[in-house]
Chains A and B, each alone.
Chain A
Amino acid sequence: MSTAVIESVTPAPRRPWRQPRKVALETTILVVASVVFARFLEAATGLAGVLGLYVGFAVALPVLAIVSVVRKGRNATIDRFATSVLVVAFGVVCIPWISVISTVVRNGSRAFYSGYLTTDMLITGVDDPLNTGGLAHALVGSVLVVLIASFIAVPLGIVAAIYIVEVKGRFAGFVRFLTQAMSGVPSIVAGLFVYATIVIFFGGFSAWAGASALVVLMLPTVARTSEEVLKLVSDDLRAASYALGATQARTTFSVVLPTVFSGLITAAVLGVARVAGETAPLLLTTSYFVKTSTNLNEPIATMPIYIFSSLGIGTENSIARAWGGSLVLLAAVLILFLIARIASNRLSRK
């Protein structure tokens, strides 16, 4: 047999199992047919609106999917049916998300005017026209309360993570269990607890009390994310540090933590995002105040309470204000998430 290597021309790679044009065509036909069918169903029955249309679509797609492959045999038919059911179910899952975001943006933008972010409600009634007043007080208050909470919860959370990953102490498993248990504490219970302690002892609602309640909710998020982040540090790095004669404390603070600094930022930001919109505990701890205030010993306005109380008034303009606050809050959470993502991407690139 010949073994001479003859330089043969390499053929172009192909993927015969993908039939993009055919699949795209089939899918398009299916979807268009389902929409048409859904239109008819909408006209024939009382199911009106976007949701009604989707219900029709949800019924039509699996049915048409079956019809389209039934000649290929039972197995292929069931496969196609299951696929279309999964697609439809996934659509159902996405609809509320799209609806929440689009409604908040649409209704929220009505409340906006040039001074919305810089004016408070001190001289404006909740039902006054939408070109007066604003949520400056709530914004300032939320930032203050969340900042104080972070100053306590972030170090504590990171310490818990260091204890589990670096110190690997006797209670490591127990501490992890506790953090997990803590993440399940209902937010109203956290508020009630702070009310039973700080509010009653110090005689009143305050930013401090609100921040304390948020610490309870923020700590587990920070601890868990930090733990995941610290686990990313390879043991080689620690070994290298120990080999240079460094103590564990020095290794942790000078080698491990700087390596994952951006990851710890992610943990902190996720913790902030988790509590920025918490309403129930603040109802019981900070109460509400219409003036922009930086006095931490008094009741203070926060974004969630601003939304909640505006909604509670129930007039047209106050509800519009509630939507406006929701838009600002949602945007804030979104921005926090983007920051967390960017920070964690920077970490993974290292």
Chain B
Amino acid sequence: MSTETDVPEIRLISGVRKRTDMLFRGAMTVGALASLVILALIAGFLLFRGFQIFADFGLGFLTSSTWDSGDVNDPTTARFGIAAMLVGSVLIATIAVVVAVPFAMSAALFIEYYAPRAVRTVLTSVLDLIAAVPSVIWGIWGYSVLMPDAEGWAKTLHSWLGWFPLFDVPAPIFGRSPFIAGLLLAMMILPIVTSVAREVYGQAPRDHVDAAYALGGTRWGALRTVVIPFGRSGLVGGAMLGLGRALGETVAVFLVLNLVFDVNFKILASAGGNVASLIASRFGEASPYELKGLMAAGLVLFLVTLLVNAAATAVVKRAKVAV
């Protein structure tokens, strides 16, 4: 585009690429878009298989809590709704995040600003390693080590705070509750949340920290005025990443939670819901029609976690941290 002042036309440098290069770039593009294909296939097939459920039950699939496979030969007697499971998933994941975040924050501050340098390197690797402990191992540990102890804590909590509806129980049974599942998930997401928090805290600008010290601040003073406010959005992103993990976790929750098809907010009671565990538990003996219900539940879970993770990624990216 030339203007009146005789600006010469912009020349785009366009070399002719070699055929091999075009081929290379094309092949890499196709390969890279595999993830798009896979994601689209996941959503597509789950929708395809579960579509009949959405057609039959409409919004009732999300708002009702009945899960009844009915007569095998007569699909019209079946009633499917995942409200209790969905609420349960969110409740447990929320407990996990609420418990995990303060500890993740403290651990991250400790690793980044208190631990000696050699220890810091070791702890960073340990965090990665613990994050890779398979969920089935957390599950077996949660089932046989954590649950007996946590039942006792639940009892204590109930005896002190039982007047508060959240900590009330209909019957004095404290095992396999959302509280225990939430605690276990908290421990499982701690490594990832801590490592995100550690990374953001480590990036707090040195000159602001120096300014706090130069004003006669103590180490805690510098952390409180500079580092913690700086890391706030990164911590939120890390927490949401943890939330995404917690929402999608299956085996560990399955082992320590009693699935009950009733919306329940009494976290100490031995009754809870979890979409992923629902799928794992009903899958084995499901009729073809119930399988479609599970596919539909899987699709809902997929979309919810996708949404949470996308939000988390956006928040973390704003905090300029590579996760």
B103 touches A156 (CB 8 A): no
B28 touches A162 (CB 8 A): yes
* Docked CA distance A170–B240 (Å): 29
B20 touches A308 (CB 8 A): no
Q: Given the known A-B contacts A160-B34, A164-B32, A223-B35, are A184 and B137 also in contact in the complex, defined by CB atoms under 8 Å?
A: no
B313 to chain A, nearest CB (A): 5
Which chain B residues numbered 60 to 112 have a C-beta less than 8 Å away from chain A? 102-104, 106-107, 109-111
B302 touches A189 (CB 8 A): yes
Choose from A185, A192, A329 the contact partner of B294 (Cβ within 8 Å).
A192
Which chain A residues numbered 262 to 318 have a C-beta less than 8 Å away from chain B? 273-274, 276-280, 283-284, 304, 307-308, 311
Which chain B residues numbered 96 to 150 have a C-beta less than 8 Å away from chain A? 102-104, 106-107, 109-111, 114, 125-126, 128-130, 132-141, 143-146, 149
Chain A contributes a number of interface residues (CB within 8 A of B) equal to 87
A311 touches B143 (CB 8 A): yes
* Docked CA distance A277–B249 (Å): 13
B299 to chain A, nearest CB (A): 8
A324 to chain B, nearest CB (A): 11
Q: Given the known A-B contacts A89-B103, A103-B145, A273-B132, are A189 and B248 also in contact in the complex, defined by CB atoms under 8 Å?
A: yes
B135 touches A184 (CB 8 A): no
Interface locus among B5-13, B38-46, B264-272: B38-46
Asked if B239 lies at the interface with its beta carbon under 8 angstroms from chain A, I say no
Choose from A83, A182, A284 the contact partner of B38 (Cβ within 8 Å).
A182
A326 touches B137 (CB 8 A): yes
B246 to chain A, nearest CB (A): 10
Which chain B residues numbered 201 to 231 have a C-beta less than 8 Å away from chain A? 218-221, 223-224
* Beta-carbon nearest neighbor of B183 in chain A: A96
What are the residues of chain B within 8 A of A276 when measuring CB–CB?
134
Asked if A187 lies at the interface with its beta carbon under 8 angstroms from chain B, I say yes
B219 touches A83 (CB 8 A): yes
What are the residues of chain A within 8 A of B298 when measuring CB–CB?
188-189, 192-193
* Docked CA distance A169–B31 (Å): 12
Choose from A174, A186, A322 the contact partner of B248 (Cβ within 8 Å).
A186
* Docked CA distance A180–B313 (Å): 8
Asked if B247 lies at the interface with its beta carbon under 8 angstroms from chain A, I say yes
Please, could you name 24 A-B residue pairs with CB atoms under 8 Å apart, sorted by A?
A: A79-B221, A89-B110, A93-B194, A100-B133, A100-B145, A156-B34, A159-B31, A162-B32, A166-B28, A182-B35, A184-B312, A186-B247, A188-B298, A189-B46, A192-B294, A192-B295, A197-B41, A216-B38, A247-B24, A249-B20, A277-B136, A283-B280, A307-B137, A333-B129
A163-B32, A184-B306, A186-B248 given; name 16 further pairs at CB < 8 Å: A78-B220, A83-B220, A93-B194, A107-B144, A156-B34, A163-B28, A177-B310, A184-B308, A188-B248, A193-B41, A193-B45, A196-B49, A219-B35, A248-B25, A279-B250, A333-B133
